[in-house]
Amino acid sequence: MYIRLMLLCGLYNCTYDMSLEIINIMDSIAPILHTKLFLVTALITVIYMYFKFVIYGYWKRRGIPHAPPIIPVGNAFPLISGKVSIGNLMRQKYNEGKKYPVYGIYMFHKPILLINDPNVIQLILIKEFNKFCNRGLYFNDKVDTLSLNLFFLPGERWRQLRTKLTPTFTSGKLKQMYPLLLEIGDNLIRVCDQIIKKDNIVEFKDLIGRYTTDSISSIAFGVDCQSLDNGSSEFQKHGIMVFDLPPSKIASAVFAPIILDIFRIPVFNNTITQFFVKTFNDVLEERRRNKITRKDFLNSLMQLLDKGSLDEDKDLKQKDNNNSANGSALGKISLSEAIGQAFIFYLAGFETTSSTITYCLYELALNPEIQEKVQAEIDEFSKRDGGITYEIMSNDMKYLHMVFLETLRKHPSIPFLNRECIEDCDIPNTNFRIEKGTKLLICMNAMHRDPDIFPDPEKFDPFRFTKENIASRQPYTYLPFGDGPRACIGIRFGMLQTKIALIGLLSNYNFSVCEKTSIPVMYARRSFTQTPEYGIYLKTEKRNKSTFLYKNRQ
């Protein structure tokens, strides 16, 4: 009847016969429409009830405190709407639930457990590592070749590859790479000199990105891409593409990889994959054809490809406690594994190191007294015979190291650690059980700015990292590189790459804020890492001295 009244009101312009015919037709299909409307309504109701009581009742049924979800996106709405970055969203949730040892949230249909208690963090990363050895990220090497890397790999495949790759990051191998990195550090100073002759307001996000592109493409792929001289390169463009993935794809890869797996969607698109695969194969072919040997990461990968172990460093006395300078007899790595490691090594050294250097300069510009102190330390060691050697940079420059650590406290490159439970695990002194398949997050960006852990957390204070202050702080509250067996394998390389740039820049320039400096700095909302949303502009003035790290050592 309701439908007929609507039609009568709307058909006054039609002829009487036409109106009757239309009304008769609607009368005949009305029961069908009513049935379909009922079925649609019933289906929506069932779906709603399933989300509310089954999917979003997960934490309530287990007695775990949790954030109230919104159907059907859980607690992910601020992320998919582009209002906040993934790191800032997790920081908000940590602050909501930090009074609890664990706190539940939902990302789309997936329950996620935030780990807030340092004792539980130790349980997951160290004591019960075998129950939490997976990151739970998307991995499918048949669909996405580049996912075959140490960061993405699960379980036993990760364990085997980690054992093979560990010898590539010994102090001996890093010392061999040191001159290559120093030369690129000198290029950074030369280019910066050219820039400030035109304008002493320098945008460092792009400049340091070009430095890390040149250094990591040289070490990982053996390519001199000259980003510093040319203003950009194909390496840098493709690196930026990786970190500009849609937030929905990033969230799916981290929190709901099954979605990508079902629809066979790669995390990295064909353009990115083809570039890195082709570049690796081209350089590999050239080196083999011309019998080129270069002391870099690519050379180590070639040795693992060809014979499954590394040559011993006859000219270096290794003191690494891993006692594996010549590799392990665990078999050769595959070509796909070699490409995957070169790719992830490039990504880690490109974006995370770039952000750390940039944020460090930013914080020193805001804190000139700290800047002067670290410059004094650099000047002192520069005067020594032989200048700043690998050993001095690695072991003796204590204040620079504290500045480096404090930068990573305020601005960790990766905002959280993620793990997946592969075996049920009870949390001591609680009634909580972490069930197999549960995804976990440790929000170190939030812990690093928790005033209960780091008093006055917005203050940049390198003295937080004196031996005494580190010893007095509860363990497992500072985790910029992770911890345990699955900690970042390239920690020492990242430190080396960062410190070379900082020493070169602070030896030659003074940095201060200007009208174009964004205070406070904003993190990019679309990025998985905590890269700056906008450029970092600093006033850059030449000091009364010039220091070139590599040329002075010729």
Known binding site for heme: residues?
A: 488
- For 120, the enclosing helix (H) or strand (E) is helix 118-122
Strand partners, 115: 102
| CB of 106 closer than 8 Å to CB of 255 | no
DSSP 385-451: TT-S-HHIIIII-HHHHHHHHHHHHHS-SSS-EEEE-SS-EEPTTSS-EEPTT-EEEE-HHHHTT-T
Q: Which residue's structure tokens are 């940079």?
A: 393
Burial zone of 440 (CB within 10 Å; 0-12 exposed, 13-18 middle, 19+ buried)? buried
- For 107, the enclosing helix (H) or strand (E) is strand 102-107
> CA dihedral in degrees (126, 129, 132, 133; nearest 10)?
110
- Residue 319 in 3-state DSSP? coil
> CA dihedral in degrees (447, 449, 453, 454; nearest 10)?
150
What DSSP character marks residue 216? H
- Residue 63 in 3-state DSSP? coil
- Residue 92 in 3-state DSSP? helix
- Residue 135 in 3-state DSSP? coil
Rg (CA), the chain: 28
Residues in Cβ contact with 321 at an 8 Å cutoff, skipping those fewer than 6 apart:
none
Half-sphere exposure of 394 (CA within 13 A, CB side): 14
Residue 64 and residue 132: Cα distance in Å, rounded?
A: 19
- As annotated, the binding site includes 488
Please report, for residues 22, 28, 29, 47, 302, the alpha-carbon distance to residue 35 in angstroms, rounded to integers and kept in the order given.
20, 13, 10, 18, 67
Please report, for residues 16, 208, 359, 365, 375, the alpha-carbon distance to residue 541 in angstroms, rounded to integers and kept in the order given.
88, 17, 18, 12, 14
Q: Given CA atoms 509, 514, 518, 524 in this order, what sign does their dihedral have? A: negative
> CA dihedral in degrees (148, 151, 154, 160; nearest 10)?
80
| CB of 220 closer than 8 Å to CB of 297 | yes
| CB of 54 closer than 8 Å to CB of 69 | no
Burial letters 234-263, b for 16+ CB under 10 A, else e: ebbebbeebbebebebbbbbbbbbebbeee
What DSSP character marks residue 200? S
> What length is written for the chain?
554
